[in-house]
A and B are shown apart, each in its own frame.
Chain A
Amino acid sequence: MRTLIAALVVLVSAGSLAVAQEVEETVQLAEPFMTEYSGEDATGEHVIALWAFNQPDPAADLSGNGHDLTLNGAEFVEGGRFGGGALRSYRGWPDVDDPHQARTAASPALTPAGAFTVEMWIQAADDLTEYPEAFLLDSKYVDDLGMQLILTRESAPHQRRLRMSLGFGNKSEAWQSDPISVEPGVWRHIAFTWDGDGTGRFLVDGSAAGGETKPGLAAIATARHPVIIGDRFGSYYHGFPGLIDQVRISNGVLEFSPAGFEMLPGRSVFMRMETASDVRFVLTNRQRQTLEGARAVFALSGLSPQVVELPPIASGERHQLSFRMDTSLRPEEYSLSATVEVPSDPPFSSTEQFDITIVPRQLPNTMPVVMWGGVQGEDHLRALRDIGFTHYIGLSCDFNAIWEANAPVAPGSPEAIAANRVRLDEALRNGMRIVSGLSPARTLRSNEEYQRVLHDGSKHEDVCGLFDRVQDFCYNVGVSMDNAYGDHPGFGAALIHTEVRGGSRPCFHDHDRAAFREYSGFDIPEAVRDMRGVHYDTIDGFPPNRVIPDDDPLYVYYRWLWRGGDGWNELHTRVHDGLPAREDFWTFHDPAVRAAKVYGSGGDVDYLSQWTYSYPDPLRIGLATEEMLQMAEGAERPDQQIMKMTQIIWYRSQTAPEPGEEAQVQTGTFADQDVRPQGTGTVDTSGRYLARWEREIPDARFITIAPMHMREAFWTKIARPIQGIQYHGIGSLLPGVTHGSYRYTHPEAKFELQRLVDSVVKPLGPTLRQVPARQSDVALLESFASEIFTRSGTYGWNGGWTGDMWLIALYAGLQPEVIFDETIEQEGLDDYKVLILPGAEVLTETLANAIQAFQDRGGIVVGDETLCPAITPDILVETHSRPREADEGRAINVEKGLALREQLDPHYARHADSSNPDVVPYVRSWGTTDYLFAVNDRREFGDYVGHHKLVMENGLPAEATLTMARGGRVYDLVNHREVETAQADGRITIARQFGPAEGLVYMVTERPIASIRLTAPQETTSGSRVTIAAEILDDAGERIDAVVPVRVDLLDPAGHAAEFSGWYGATGGGVEVNADLAINDMPGLWQIRVQELASGKTASAYLRVSAG
C-alpha cells in the first residue's frame, strides 16, 4: 500500500462566492494490478498470501508466508493473465459432485485480523454459461467463520454478481456486487475490500462495483478450514469453470482505481431547466506514474456523454473538473458515471457512479406550507414532506464572521458551508426548500457599543438600529448568504429578525434624538420611557374628551418610533435587500403584529407573518391575520403580502393545571411512539380524571394542539387572503423528535394536518393565492392613539377586549376589516357602513372628526363604554373580562353577538350571512365571482384538556342556512361539485350541515360552468415546448370570470405524470401551460387530462410525441 501527501486548492462551495480551501490529504495509490505483483506488492508486510501459479513452482505462496497450495481436482495450466501460469477449475455439482480446487493447509494466519482485501483475475470458460453459482475462494463453508467469495448465477447472458459472505463467529453477513460482465475468454480483475468496520466494497477492473455498510460489525472470525481457490470447501462442490490468476489476500483496504473521482459537495440535485448547473469533481491520479493522455468521460444514465481531455496529472496529484448538467432532462434520479480512460497497453478505464437528481420546477402559485423549525435528519424531513410541508428552517450563518469582516464573507467555515449545501440538496431532492433563520441584529444585543441607551443614560440589552455599521451588517449578512447559497434552489426563503421588538426600548443616542428632531421639529418628549406609550391618566392637562391634536408630541413620537424610528424596519429591509433576488426566493418577518398598530412593521420583506395559539377560541387566529393584512396594505412596498402560522404547541399553563401529586409517571410509552391513542384517560387514585398525556407525561410543559382546533384555525386563516401557512412545534407534531419541552401528546394532529393540506392547500392553494379579500363594509378600528395613551393593544395576541369584540362581530355575522388610524387618515371611511371601535378611548382630532362625519352620513358606530367621549355610539357593547371557563366566555360573546345582530339588522344588510352564529362566513372576491368560506365554531369540552374547562377542544356538528345577496351558481371547491341552492329575490340560500370544526369554500359565479375547452397540439417531438391551454367556459362559450382551481395531468405513455402536472389556478377562467418536453421523455401517445375542481368537469386530449 503506497500513499502520497497531496495538496490541492479546491473550491468547496458553489455560487458566486467560491471559498478556496487548501486541502492536504494522504492519497492512497492504486495497486498495480495490471501487472504481475512483485517487490513490496508481493512480499510486503501487508500481504498475507499471493499465488501466481507460475512455473516452476505454481503452488508456491509468493508472499513468503508459506501458504503453498495443493491441487485437489484443479490444474495448473499455461495461459495466465500475464503470459505465465494459471489455475484451471471446472464445473462441479450437478455435473459431477467432485472437488476442482487448489487448497492451502488450514492456518489462522490466513484469516485477516481486521480490514483486508481479496483479489484475483478470472477468465470464464465457455461452459460457465448456464452453470449456477461458482465458488472462487472459500474458507468458510457452512460456518460463521472465515470468508467465501462466489460468482452468483446468471441474471442475464454473461451477467453475474459477486457475493462475499463473511463469518463473524455468531452470525454471517453477505455483500453483493453490482451486476458484472463475465464473458468467456475475457480476463476480469475482481477485488473485495473489508474495512473491519462494516463496509464491504467490490471493484472490478479498478472500477467500483457496489458495496454496502452494515453497522455493528468488525473483524471476521478465524476460519477453521483451509483457503480453497476455485471451488467450495466441501460438497456440494461448485467449481469455477475457467482460469484464475494472481490471487492475493492482503491486510488493509487497498485501492485499485487508477484515478478516483470525488464529487465536491456543491450540488447533486438540480431543478429542471436551471442554468447554474455544474457538478464539480476532483480527480486524483492514483497510479504510480503520471497520468498522461487520459480523458474523463461523464454520462448521465448513458445520455449526453461529455469528454474532458485531461492534462498530465502526476502520481497522487489532484485535478478539478466539472460536468455541465443537462437540466432539460426529465425530472428523475440519474446515475452519473464518471470514467477515466487510461491509454495504457492494453488501455483500461475506471468508472465511478454518482447519484444525481433533477426535480421538477414548482408550479405557479404553489402555496408554501412552512415548518417553522428545523428537522433532525432525513427521516423527519420525509415525514414533514409526507404531511405536505414545503419548507422548513435550517442553514446556519456565522454572523460573527460577517460582523468582524464588516463586509460580505463566507457565512461559515468551508465544512459548514459544504454541510449546508448537502442539506440543501437533501431538501430539494425531497421537493422541499430550506428557510434560513436570519436575525443578525439580535446577535449584537450584548455588544455594549451598539446597545440602546435609555432616557437615564443606562444601556439596554438591545441593539440600536440607527447605527450605519449595524445596518451595513444586516445587508452584508444577506449578501453573504446569497453568495454562499443563492444559486441553490433549495435555499428558498429567509425568516428575518424574529421576535426582536418585544424586548426593545426607545433609544436616546444623540443620533436617535437628532433623527426624531429632524422628523418632527421638536425633541423626544420627556415622558417617554418604553415602547407601549404613556397612560393618559398620568398626563396633566390631557384633554378631558380624550381627543388629542394630531401633532400631540407623544403621539407624533410613538408613531415615528413604531413606523421605523427605532430602526428595526430598516434592519429587516437591509437583510432582505442583500438576499437572493430570485423570483422563487422570498423573505418574511414575524411576529409582525407584535407591534403597535401602524403601517410598516416588517420593512420591505415579502411577507409578514404571525404565530397564534388556537386556545381558547380558534377563530381568534383571524384577528391577527386581519391585523397583518392591514399592516401589509399600508406597507411602503405595495406588493407586500402575508402568511399565517398556527402553533402546534399548546402551553400547558393555558390549557390544564399543574400536575397533582397523584399523577403517576410513566415514561417512554406515549411520547416516543407513532401510535394512535389506545383509549383515553383514566381516573387516578383520588378520583380525578387524567387524560392519557397527563398520566404518562405529567411534567409536560407544551402539549400538542387538539386536531379539531387545528382544523378550525386552519379554515379561519385560509379563508383570508394569505399566501402561505406555517406551523411551529415539530416536537409536538412528530414522534421521536428531541425537544427540551415540546411533547408529543396527540398523534392525530399530524394526520389532521395532512388531510387539510391534501384536500385544501394543494388543490386550491394556487387559486386562493390569487383571490383577494372582498372589500368589507364593516371596519374595526384598532386605534393607535388609544394603544399609546392607554398602554393597551393586542400586539398580535388576539386577546383582551379587542379580541372578544372581534369575536362578537363574527358571531353577529359580520366580516370586520381591521383598520388603523392611518387607514382613516389616508382613505377615509367611505368604504364602510359599520365602524366598530373596541377600546377606542383616545382619538386624534382627524379621526374623531372623520368618525363623526361617518356617523352623520349614515354610518353605524359600534362602541363600548370606554369609547372616546367625543363619539356617541349607535350601538354599545359593554366590555367584560373573560371568565376562566371557556364555555362561559364563548357563551357571553355569542350572546353579545346576537344582540349586536338584532340592533344592526334593520340598518345593515350583509353580502353573506349565516343563520347560525356558530357558523362564521367570510367572503373573498375576484371579478364578479365570490368565494364564500364558512367555518363551524360549535364546540364542547373533550377529555384531552376539556375536563379542566379552560379550552373547548372538541368540535360539534352544526347546521346553518347560508345566504348571499346575489344570484349565481355555487360550486363546492373541496368536493368539486355544484351545490344545490334556492334562489329568490336576488339572494342565494344554501342549507348546509357542518361536521365538527369543518370549513368550506364555495365559488359563486354569475354564470354556470358548462364545459372545458382544451387546446393542445396533436403531435410534437421530445425536447420541444408544448403549449396547452385550458379554458373553463360558461354556457355562452365565454370564460368564467373567476380564478378556477384546475388539475392538469400530462401523462406519458407509461402513465407517469410529467413535469407541469399538478394544480393550477385558472386566472380569468383560463390557464396556459408551457410544457418543456425533455429529450429523454418517453415517445408515444401522451394523454393531457384537465379537471376543473369546481363542478368536476374533465377534458382530455392526446399528443403524439416522436423521438426528437
Chain B
Amino acid sequence: MLNTPTRMLLVAAIICLSAALALAQDAAPRRLALLDDAATVETLAAALDDADVVVARTAARLLPSRGEAAVSAVGAALGHTDPLVRRNAAMNLHRLGNAGIALADRALGDESELVRQGVVYSLIELPQTAEVAALVQRAQEDESALVRATAIAAARAAFTTAEAIPLPREGWLIKTDTEEVGVDEKWFAVDLDEAGWTPIAIEEFWGDRGPSSGVGWYRLQFDLPAREKPTRAQLDFQAVDESAWVWLNGEFAGEHDLGPNGWDTPFRLDVTDGLNWGGANQLTVRVLNSAMAGGIWKPVSIVILEPAD
C-alpha cells in the first residue's frame, strides 16, 4: 500500500521516536541542570560536548553571562560543529564585554550566515566604539543578504535620519524579462542601450506594463547634488511588490526577497560608497512578482544618516 519512500520515512520516524524516548530520560535533566545559576563555567563548558545539541546550545547561550572566566569556553563554543551552538554563543558575546569583540571579529568569519547574524546582534549591544562600528560595517558588506540586512538595521539604530532625498516618481523605464535573461545580459549596466524600454512612473503598480507574473526591470537616471560623502547613505524603498534586486551605478547593492509576503514591507540598502554626489547616478531594480499586482508601488528615496547623539 505504501510506496517505498514513504515506508522508509515511516520507519525513520519510528526509529527517531524510539531514540528520542531513550534520550529524553537524560537530556532534559542535563539541560535543566545547566539552567541553575550555580552551574559553573566548567559545567557549561563540558556541556558543549553533550551529545544533545539543545543541551549544548543552552550551554553556549549561558556561557557568556559568566563573564571573562568563560572567554575560552565561549571561544570553544564558537568552534562547535553545530551552527546553532556557535550562533547562541555569538548572540551573547556582548556579555563578555570587550573580551567579546575579538571573538566577534573571529565569528564574523564563520561559514554560517546565522552565526554571523548572531554576531551582529551582539555588536548592537556593545558600546558603539570605532572598533565595533568597523565590525558592523564589515557585516554590512557580508556576502549574505541576511547578514547585510541585519547589519544595516543595526547601523541605522546607531544613526538618525539627517536628510531624505526623494527620487522622482516619473522618469523611470521598465522592461519585462520574460525569458529571465536580464542578469546574464547585464540589464543593470550603466551604459545599457535602453532602446525598447518603456517609460513608467513609480508609486503605483506596473499594471499592464509589467508581467502579471514574472520579472520586470526598472531603470532610473538621476543626479545628486555635490556634497561631502555622508557617514551613512541608504536607499530607502517604502515597498516593492514583491521581491527586488538592486544595482547602483552598475554595482549590486542588495536584495529584498521575502517571497509574496514582502510586497508591503519597506527595506533599505546601504549605498554609502556607491553614490556619485554631484553627478549622474544610475539605479536598476529587478522586480519579481508572482501574483496580483507588481512593481515599485511606493516611494523611493536616498536617506542620509548621521550618528545619533
| A interface SS class | loop
For B32, give its contact among A791, A858, A882, A957 (CB under 8 Å).
A858
Chain A residues with Cβ under 8 A from B20's Cβ? Answer: 901-902, 905-906
Q: A858-B31, A869-B91 are in contact. Are A792 and B16 (CB under 8 A)?
A: no
CB <8 Å contact, A541 and B21: no
For window 897-948 of A, CB contacts with B under 8 Å fall at 898, 901-909, 913, 915-918, 938
Given A860-B54, A876-B87, CB of A881 within 8 Å of CB of B257: yes
Chain B residues closer than 8 Å to A856, beta-carbon distance: 35
A846 touches B (CB below 8 Å): no
Contact A545 B14 (CB under 8 A): no
A538-B266, A541-B308 as given contacts; A916 in contact with B16, CB under 8 Å: no
State whether A916 and B121 are in contact (beta carbons under 8 Å apart), knowing that A878-B114, A881-B259 are contacts in the complex.
Answer: no
Q: Does B137 contact A (CB under 8 A)?
A: no
Which residues between 945 and 967 of chain A lie within 8 Å of chain B, taking CB atoms? Answer: 957-961
For the complex with contacts A905-B21, A906-B27, A917-B9, 10 further pairs of A-B residues with Cβ separation under 8 Å are A538-B266, A544-B124, A857-B35, A860-B54, A869-B121, A881-B258, A884-B290, A907-B31, A908-B24, A993-B1
Least distance between A144 CB and chain B CB atoms (Å): 63
A881 to B156 CA separation, bound complex (whole angstroms): 26
Verify if B134 is at the interface (C-beta below 8 Å from A): no
Instruction: Give 29 pairs: A residue, B residue, CB < 8 Å, sorted on A.
Output: A537-B156, A537-B267, A538-B266, A541-B308, A542-B157, A544-B124, A544-B154, A544-B158, A791-B265, A801-B261, A856-B35, A858-B31, A865-B114, A869-B91, A874-B61, A876-B84, A881-B259, A881-B261, A898-B16, A902-B16, A904-B54, A905-B17, A906-B52, A907-B28, A915-B14, A957-B2, A958-B2, A959-B2, A961-B14
Mark out the residues of chain B between 40 and 82 whose CB falls within 8 Å of any chain A CB in the assembled complex: 52-54, 57-58, 61
B4 in contact (CB, < 8 A): no
B153 lies within 8 A of chain A by Cβ: yes
Set of chain A residues within 8 Å of B99, measured between Cβ atoms:
none
Closest CB in chain A relative to B158 CB, distance in Å: 7
B291 interface residue (CB < 8 Å to A):
yes
- A916-B27 in contact (CB<8A): no
> Is residue B176 within 8 Å, beta carbon to beta carbon, of the partner chain?
no
> How many residues in B have their beta carbons less than 8 Å from beta carbons of A?
60
Residue B129 CB within 8 A of the other chain: no
A790-B265, A801-B261, A878-B114 given as contacts; is B2 within 8 A of A915 (CB)? no
Contacts of A800 in B (CB 8 A): 260-261
Question: How many whole Å from A993's CB to the nearest CB in chain B?
Answer: 8
The residue from B19, B26, B153 contacting A537, defined by CB atoms under 8 A apart: B153
Report, as a range, how many residues of chain A touch the other chain.
35 or more
Q: Is the interface of B mostly helix, strand, loop or mixed?
A: helix
B190 at the A interface (CB under 8 A): no
Measured CA separation A415–B97 after assembly (Å)? 82
Contact residues of B with A, CB < 8 Å?
Answer: 1-2, 6, 9-10, 12-14, 16-17, 19-21, 23-24, 26-28, 31-32, 35, 52-54, 57-58, 61, 84, 87-88, 91-92, 114, 117, 121, 124-125, 146, 153-154, 156-158, 160-161, 236, 238, 257-261, 264-268, 290-291, 308
Q: Which residues of B contact A907 (CB under 8 A)?
A: 24, 27-28, 31, 52, 54
B35 x A535 contact (CB < 8 A) = no
Residues of B within 8 A of A790 (CB): 265
Scoring B17, B117, B125 by chain A CB atoms within 10 A of each residue's CB, the highest score goes to B17
Q: How far, in Å, is A811 (CB) from chain B's closest CB? A: 10
Q: Is the CB of A545 within 8 A of B121?
A: yes
Determine whether the beta carbon of B124 is less than 8 Å from that of A545.
yes
Say how far B238's CB is from chain A's closest CB, in angstroms: 8
A1102 to B182, CA, bound (A): 85
What's the Cα separation between A538 and B154 when bound, in Å? 13
Question: How does the 8 Å CB contact mask read for A789-831 relative to B, with 1 for contact and 0 for none?
Answer: 0111000000111000000000000000000000000000000
Interface: A1106 (CB within 8 A): no
CB closest residue in chain A, given B36: A856
CB-nearest residue of chain B to A856? B35
Note all chain A residues with C-beta closer than 8 A to B266: 535, 537-538, 791
CA distance A957 to B10 in the complex (A): 13
Interchain CB contact under 8 A, A541 and B157 = yes
Chain B residues lying within 8 Å of A280, measured Cβ to Cβ, are none
Q: Kindly state whether residue A318 has any CB partner on chain B within 8 Å.
A: no
For residue A985, which residue of chain B has the nearest CB? B21
A residues near B268, Cβ cutoff 8 Å: 537
For the complex formed, measure the closest distance between the CB of B241 and the CB atoms of chain A, giving whole angstroms: 13
Contact partner of A792 (CB less than 8 A), chosen from B12, B57, B261, is: B261
- Bound complex: CA of A865 vs CA of B236, how far in Å? 23
Contact A540 B261 (CB under 8 A): no
- Interchain CA distance A916-B6 in the complex, whole Å: 9
* Chain B residues closer than 8 Å to A791, beta-carbon distance: 264-266
User: How distant is A756 from chain B, measured CB to nearest CB, in Å?
Assistant: 24
Measured CA separation A854–B58 after assembly (Å): 13
Q: Which residues, 745 to 791 on A, are CB-close (under 8 Å) to B?
A: 790-791
Please report the C-alpha to C-alpha distance between residue A876 and residue B160 in the assembled complex, in whole angstroms.
32
Asked whether, in the complex, the Cβ of A913 is within 8 Å of the Cβ of B17, the reply is: yes
A502 interfacial contact with B, CB 8 Å: no
Which residues in A have their C-beta under 8 angstroms from that of B31?
A: 858, 907
How far, in whole Å, are A207 and B72 apart by their CA atoms in the complex?
A: 108
Whether A540 touches B124, Cβ cut-off 8 Å, given contacts A535-B266, A916-B13, is no
How far apart are B61's CB and chain A's nearest CB, in angstroms? 5
Q: Any chain B CB within 8 A of the CB of A532?
A: yes
Determine whether the beta carbon of B24 is less than 8 Å from that of A906: yes
- Is A653's beta carbon under 8 Å from chain B? yes
CA distance A881 to B57 in the complex (A): 26
Residues of B within 8 A of A904 (CB): 54
B-side contacts of A869, CB under 8 Å: 91, 121, 124-125
Shortest Cβ distance from residue A990 to the other chain B in the assembled complex, whole angstroms: 14
**Assembly CA distance A144 to B20 (angstroms):** 89
* Nearest CB in chain B to that of A913: its residue: B17
> Residues of A contacting B88 with CB < 8 Å?
872
Closest to B16 in A: A902
Chain B contacts for A872, CB-based, 8 A: 61, 88, 91-92
Shortest Cβ distance from B276 into chain A, in angstroms? 25
* Cβ distance A880 to chain B, nearest Cβ, rounded Å: 8
Tell me the residues in window 986-1003 of chain A with beta carbons closer than 8 Å to chain B beta carbons.
Answer: 993
Tell whether, in the assembled complex, residue A545 and residue B160 are in contact, meaning their CB atoms are under 8 Å apart: no
> A234 near B: Cβ within 8 Å?
no
The closest CB in chain A to the CB of B25 belongs to A906
Q: Which residues of A contact B28 (CB under 8 A)?
A: 906-908
Q: Does A875 make an interface contact (CB < 8 A)? A: yes
B160 touches A540 (CB 8 A): yes
Write the chain A residue with the least CB distance to B290.
A884
Interface membership of chain A positions 539-562, coded 1 if the CB is closer than 8 angstroms to chain B and 0 otherwise: 011111100000000000000000
Contact of A903 among B9, B26, B54 (CB under 8 A): B54
> Which chain B residues border A874 with CB–CB below 8 Å?
54, 57-58, 61
Q: What are the 3 A-B residue pairs with the smallest beta carbon separation, nearest first?
A: A905-B20, A881-B259, A544-B157
Q: How many angstroms between the C-alpha atoms of A913 and B16 in the bound complex?
A: 13
Residues of chain B within 8 A of A875, CB atoms compared: 54, 57, 84
Measured in the bound complex, the distance between the Cα atoms of B261 and A1008 in whole Å is 51
A906 touches B291 (CB 8 A): no
Report Cα–Cα, A792/B265, bound state, in Å: 8
Q: Which residues of B contact A540 (CB under 8 A)?
A: 160-161
Q: Within the assembled complex, what's the spacing in Å between the Cα atoms of A265 and B204?
A: 55
Q: Mark A832-861, 1 if CB is under 8 A from B, else 0.
A: 000000000000000000000000111010
| In-complex Cβ contact of B13 among A860, A876, A898 (8 A) | A898
Give the residue name and chain of the A residue nearest to B28 (CB). Answer: A907
Give 1 or 0 for each of A292-314: 1 = CB within 8 Å of chain B CB: 00000000000000000000000
A543-B157, A906-B52, A907-B31 in contact; A876/B24 too (CB < 8 A)?
no
Docked complex Cα distance between A918 and B10 (Å):
9
Chain B residues contacting A535 (CB-CB under 8 Å) are 265-266
Give complex CA distance A129, B20 in Å: 93
Residues of B within 8 A of A544 (CB): 124-125, 153-154, 157-158
Check A876/B121 contact, CB under 8 A, given A544-B158, A860-B54, A906-B20.
no
